[in-house]
Chain A
Amino acid sequence: MSIEIKNISKGFGNFSALKDVSLNVPTGELVALLGPSGCGKTTLLRIIAGLETPDNGSIHFHGEDATDRAVRERQVGFVFQHYALFRHMTVFENVAFGLRVRPKHTRPSEAEIKRRVHELLNLVQLDWLADRYPPQLSGGQRQRIALARALAVEPKVLLLDEPFGALDAKVRKDLRRWLRRLHDELHITSVFVTHDQEEALEVADTIVVMNQGRIEQIGSPQQVYDHPATPFVYQFLGNVNAFEGHVDQGVAKIAGLQVPLNYQHEARSGSISAFVRPYDIQVRKAYDDNGALAAKLTYAHSIGPIVRLELKREDNHEFLDAELSKADFDNLNIKEGDSVYLKLKNVRVFFGNNFVI
Chain B
Amino acid sequence: MSATNTHLSQYQKYNQRVSRNRATSEVAWVRYTLIAATLLFLSLFLFVPLATVFTEAFRKGAGTYFAALSDPDALSAIKLTLIAAVIAVPLNLVFGVAAAWAIAKFEFKGKSLLITLIDLPFAVSPVIAGLIYVLIFGMQGWFGEWLTDHDFKIIFAIPGIVLATIFVTFPFVARELIPLMQAQGKEEEEAALVLGASGWQMFWRVTLPNIKWGLLYGVILCNARAMGEFGAVSVVSGHIRGLTNTMPLHVEILYNEYNYAAAFAVASLLALLALLTLALKTYVEWQSAKDAIEIEQE
Seen from chain A, the residues whose Cβ lies within 8 Å of a Cβ on chain B are: 49-51, 71-72, 74, 76-78, 80, 82, 84-88, 97-98, 101-102, 132-133, 135-136, 138, 149-150, 152-153
Contact = CB atoms under 8 A, between A and B. Distances in A.
Interface string B76-111: 000000000000000000000000000000000000
Which interface residue of A86, A133, A138 has the most chain B CB atoms within 10 A? Answer: A86
B191 interface: yes
A97 B187 contact: no
A86 B188 contact: yes
A88 B294 CA distance: 11
Interface residues of B, number: 21
A149 B296 contact: no
A135 B210 CA distance: 14
B194 interface: yes
Given A86-B188, A101-B201, A150-B194, 20 more contacts: A51-B193, A51-B194, A71-B194, A72-B193, A72-B197, A74-B194, A76-B194, A78-B191, A80-B187, A80-B190, A82-B187, A86-B205, A97-B192, A97-B195, A101-B205, A102-B196, A136-B296, A149-B191, A150-B195, A153-B195
Interface in B108-127: none
Interface string B130-165: 000000000000000000000000000000000000
5 contacts: A49-B194, A72-B194, A97-B195, A97-B205, A101-B197
A101 B296 CA distance: 27
B1 interface: yes
A80 B209 contact: no
Closest 6 A/B residue pairs (Cβ): A84-B187, A98-B195, A101-B197, A84-B191, A78-B194, A88-B209
Interface of A is mostly: loop
Interface of B: 1, 187-188, 190-198, 201, 205-206, 209-210, 295-298
Contacts of A150: 194-195
Contacts of A78: 190-191, 194
A138 B197 contact: no
- DSSP class of B's interface residues: helix, strand, loop or mixed? helix
Nearest to A71: B193
Contact of A135 (B194, B198, B296): B296
Contacts of A84: 187-188, 190-191
A210 B297 CA distance: 42
A101 B201 CA distance: 7
Contact of B298 (A87, A133, A152): A133
Nearest to B212: A88
Contacts of A82: 187
A98 B298 CA distance: 26
Contact of B206 (A72, A86, A136, A138): A86
Contacts of B192: 86, 97, 101
Contacts of A136: 295-298
Nearest to A161: B187
A188 to B, nearest CB: 15
Nearest to A132: B298
Given A135-B295, A135-B296, A86 B194 contact: no
A88 B210 contact: yes
A124 to B, nearest CB: 16
Contacts of A86: 188, 191-192, 205-206
Nearest to B294: A133
A95 to B, nearest CB: 10
Given A133-B295, A136-B295, A51 B205 contact: no
